[in-house]
Amino acid sequence: MRTLDTKNFSVAGFKVWGIHCGIKKTEKKDLALICSDREAAVAGVFTTNRVKAASVLLNAARVKSGKGQVIIANSGCANACTGKRGMADARATAEIAARELGVKPDMVYVASTGVIGEFLPMAKVETGIKTAVGLLSATGWEQAEEAIMTTDIYPKFSVVQEEIGGKTVTIAGIAKGSGMIHPNMATMLCFIVTDASIAAPMLKRALLSSTERSFNNITVDGDMSTNDMILCMANGAAGNKKPASGSKDMKKFQACLDTVTSSLAKQVVRDGEGATKFVVIEVKNAKNPVEAKRAAMAVAKSSLVKTALFGEDANWGRIMAVLGSAGVDMDEAKTDIYFGKAKIVERGLGQGKAAEREATLALKQREVQIVIDLHKGKGAATVWTCDLSYEYIKINAAYRS
């Protein structure tokens, strides 16, 4: 597997672009179009929130076919909590794109992100789609990525190549965060495309597996969105032989997809609203994997822990307090905590000034690892998160203004 560190990539058979059509109040791009030149296998993962945006409802129905060709995404307006009109607008968006591109409407997937409760300005969307269709380019990924960003500061890309079924295939993804990031759902917008040929049911299984090991292990602020989705399109333009279930080729494909989703998930956390640190929370030897994940997530979500991380304060007591209320089997007198390599807590007790100095040094890094050993079993889990800073408050106090 080779990682391509560039924004100027292309994936055979795909053309993309992003423009400003007027959904956002600023001049920033707000409409992205991703098109395959042929029918592709499609898989999707969607928010588990009971309140689902029109785009989520539409795509969740369409993805059952396992087929698709186009993704039309907008930022600035979530088209969520918009009732029947919102659903009609989502359908109309797909129909306009289908008409302009000459594909069947049910081959088009729709995605939205932005403010909840506002309607899409459909005239602008229609003009925007026409403009975007005219600009489609094999190397337009940077434009497409910019057009799905909201409070994101950095664009997020991941591209890998691998030999599968006798051909070089490319797997590439773009994503947007960066608030309302919490798992058991897709946690943001992420579009992955590949020129690999792969059966839709296998693509679905691979995507679910990758999601579980990437996007479902991240949290920024503990809030779940109404709009989040991951869509993956495989158009087969590479001309490879379809990988068989359990084959070496399928394992290679899975590894590629894992790399792309993990990279994008980490980029989403690094660019979490106001984040100054990327934080890895690893829980070891929990009673079971479910409790390990629950404990790691509880620590990752705690405002008190996250503010201490921002302050570079080795306040391990807050971690203990969170573990004690996380609803997992734990015993203070058995618990060890490490900040980086510094064992700051052994069997529930602080390890003194030297350990604290070493831990504080670890906290001063841009990337922080916290390891919690519960000594209760063999369950393990790793969660990625960020700290909680003034900037988070600033961004979220004035988001709609």
Residues that bind its own copies (CB under 8 A): 48-52, 78, 80-83, 115-118, 179-180, 182, 221-226, 301-304, 307-308, 310-311, 313, 315-318, 320-325, 330-333, 345, 347-350, 388-390, 392-394, 396-401
116: left (phi over 0), alpha (psi -120 to 50) or beta: beta
CB 15 within 8 A of CB 144: no
Closer residue to its own copies (CB): 223 or 367? 223
| Phi/psi at 356 (5° precision) | -70, -40
CA atoms within 13 A of residue 319's CA, in its CB half-sphere:
26
CB 366 within 8 A of CB 277: yes
Closer residue to its own copies (CB): 237 or 328? 328
Closer residue to its own copies (CB): 137 or 184? 184
Least Cβ distance, residue 397 to its own copies (angstroms): 3
Cβ neighbour number for residue 163 with a 10 Å cutoff: 13
Report in angstroms the alpha-carbon separations of 184 from 10, 178, 188, 223, 228: 31, 16, 11, 11, 10
Rg (CA), the chain: 22
Q: Which residues belong to the active site?
A: 187
Least Cβ distance, residue 38 to its own copies (angstroms): 36
Closer residue to its own copies (CB): 255 or 304? 304
Among the listed residues 93, 97, 107, 86, the one whose alpha carbon sits nearest the alpha carbon of residue 227:
86
Ranges assigned E (strand) in 142-209 = 156-164, 167-176, 189-194
Least Cβ distance, residue 299 to its own copies (angstroms): 11
Least Cβ distance, residue 218 to its own copies (angstroms): 15
Least Cβ distance, residue 376 to its own copies (angstroms): 12
Ranges assigned E (strand) in 179-227 = 189-194, 218-219
Closer residue to its own copies (CB): 248 or 334? 334
